[in-house]
Amino acid sequence: MLPDMSLEEAVAKGPYDAVVLPGGLKGAENIAQSATVKSLLEEQEKAGRVIGAICAAPAVSLAGIGIGQGKKMTCYPSLKDKLTGSGKHTFVDEKVVVDGQFITSQGPGTAFDFGLALVEKLEGSEKRASTAKAMLLQ
Amino acid sequence: MLPDMSLEEAVAKGPYDAVVLPGGLKGAENIAQSATVKSLLEEQEKAGRVIGAICAAPAVSLAGIGIGQGKKMTCYPSLKDKLTGSGKHTFVDEKVVVDGQFITSQGPGTAFDFGLALVEKLEGSEKRASTAKAMLLQ
Ligand SMILES: [Cu+]
């Protein structure tokens, strides 16, 4: 993944309609250790704006730092215990789980479903349908 | 897409077990205009090594420059006429088509199937199955 700008530059240009966290265990751990990301996510959650996370990220980068407490989420299935470890998050075994402002998904093979769920949340179901059609996702 | 090296450097390090062409109409047109790519593909075809192409690439970057004549292929469905225009390629409306050394696929939504078909061709069906499982593609 090639960043367009540094995290600090990106935060300065915010706020954003959505903050989306990619997977990858090591990357998700690094993200979870960033105080800048933590305060970005806390502000995003407080303001009710969309937070997306896939693969390792829901367990490691959200639940791991106390974001989305009380919410239903999914993640890479082998990380289920990490997601539910604090007792404050509920694991749901579906490709994509939408609970309020939180959109989570399981892994590489569910990435298109995740992307379409984000499109639907941000742009509506017609845009989701036209995007899916153009990408041959039907 | 961020290249690891220039085309000239890459060609100098070859030959490769597989040459895979990404989609995107404009990119596929640029690729079709490269004499370096043309000779790379001609050598790859002559040697019987794998050639993969997805989305616009089968029609524009393979059929468009005379590669894979006599072969069954698929491509982004709206480019079917471009694929079959010279009368030397047969369009098959499936997510992935394997005909000898050629592996072709339709578009973004079929990219995982395409990737797994390449894995199977290069590394066998067990590797395909384990890759699919780890990526939650079952
Ligand atoms: Cu991952």
Predicted local distance difference test score (pLDDT) of residue A117: 98
Near ion ligand 1, which residues have CB within 5 Å?
Answer: A 23-24, 55
Predicted local distance difference test score (pLDDT) of residue A46: 98
CATH superfamily of A15-107: Class I glutamine amidotransferase (GATase) domain (3.40.50.880)
Q: Which residues of chain A have pLDDT under 50?
A: none
- Burial tier of B80 (Cβ tally within 10 Å: 0-12, 13-18, 19+): middle
Q: Is the CB of residue B112 less than 8 Å away from at least one CB of chain A? A: yes
Residues of B in contact with A109 (CB under 8 A): 112, 132, 135-138
The alpha carbon of A53 and the centre of ligand 1 are apart by a number of angstroms equal to 10
CA dihedral A32, A37, A42, A48 (to 10 degrees): -110
Helix, strand, coil percentages in chain A from 3-state DSSP, rounded to 5? 50, 15, 35
| A27-57 per-position pLDDT tens digit | 999 999 999 999 999 999 999 999 999 999 9
Which amino acid makes up residue A62? L
For A136, which of B2, B110, B136 is closest by C-beta distance? B110
**Cβ–Cβ contacts within 10 Å for residue B17, how many?**
12
Residue-wise pLDDT tens for chain B (138 aa)? 788 999 999 999 999 999 999 999 999 999 999 999 999 999 999 999 999 999 999 999 999 999 999 999 999 999 999 999 999 999 999 999 999 999 999 999 999 999 999 999 999 999 999 999 999 997
**Chain centroid to CA B17:** 13
Predicted local distance difference test score (pLDDT) of residue A101: 98
Residues of B in contact with A133 (CB under 8 A): none
B55 is catalytic: yes
Say what the ipTM of the complex is.
Answer: 0.89
Q: Is the CB of residue B108 less than 8 Å away from at least one CB of chain A? A: yes
* C-alpha to C-alpha distance for A101 and A16, rounded to whole angstroms: 13
Predicted local distance difference test score (pLDDT) of residue B138: 76
